[in-house]
Amino acid sequence: MLPELFFAYFAVTIVLFSIFVVTARNPVHSVLWMLLLFFHIAGLYLFLNAEFIAAIQIIIYAGAILVLYLFVVFLLNLREELKIYRFIGGWPSGLTFGIALLAVIILSIRSFIAAPPGKYSINLIREETHTKALAKLLYTDYLFPFEIISVILLVAIVGVIVLAKRRLKT
């Protein structure tokens, strides 16, 4: 019963925070709701025996990405923001399709059949520790994607420099 209760707590808060994120008038508030949301998601990951993921969820998402957002939000003109309407024209149709999408997704995952369990049982992971198990995989089987990620990050660096550089050279 306890796990269910835990889950219920997390689920409810996650959904609520998500809604707050997308509805908050003030972007700063949105970011802050987001922060809370990420913590809760990280909690959920812990609950699912994914300590490492939970950790990077907090470190990268909450620590890095959200801070970046916050910076940018402050960069922009907030006072103006608070005066105007937060939704675009025609938002009801957006809402409709969002809900409709939710409905069809739920309807189609009702009959979801999960694949049979693999070798990484909870015990195995506990034995090896989660981080190590993940790291081993990353550096062996998933070496190639891991390398790609490095290039992606490089692109991000180069791209940000190109786009956000202040002075024009020529």
39 touching other proteins, by CB under 8 A = no
Using alpha carbons, list the distances in angstroms from residue 132 to 31, 55, 121, 123, 139: 32, 14, 14, 14, 10
127 touching other proteins, by CB under 8 A = no
Number of residues in contact with other proteins under rule CB under 8 A: 108
Residues in contact with other proteins, shown as a per-residue x/- string from 72 to 111 under the rule CB under 8 A: xx-xxx---x--xxxxxxxx-xxx-xxxxxx-xxxxxxxx
Q: What is residue 76's DSSP assignment?
A: S
160 touching other proteins, by CB under 8 A = yes
Backbone angles phi and psi of 78, in degrees to 5: -85, -35
Give the integer Cα–Cα distance in Å for 142 and 119.
17
CA dihedral sign of residues 47, 49, 55, 60: negative
> Minimum distance from CB of 58 to other proteins (Å)?
11
Interface with other proteins (CB under 8 A), residue from 32, 36, 39, 52:
52
For 155-161, the CB contacts below 8 A with 24+ separation are none
> Minimum distance from CB of 96 to other proteins (Å)?
9
32 touching other proteins, by CB under 8 A = no
133 touching other proteins, by CB under 8 A = yes
Of 95 and 127, the one with the shorter C-beta distance to other proteins is 95
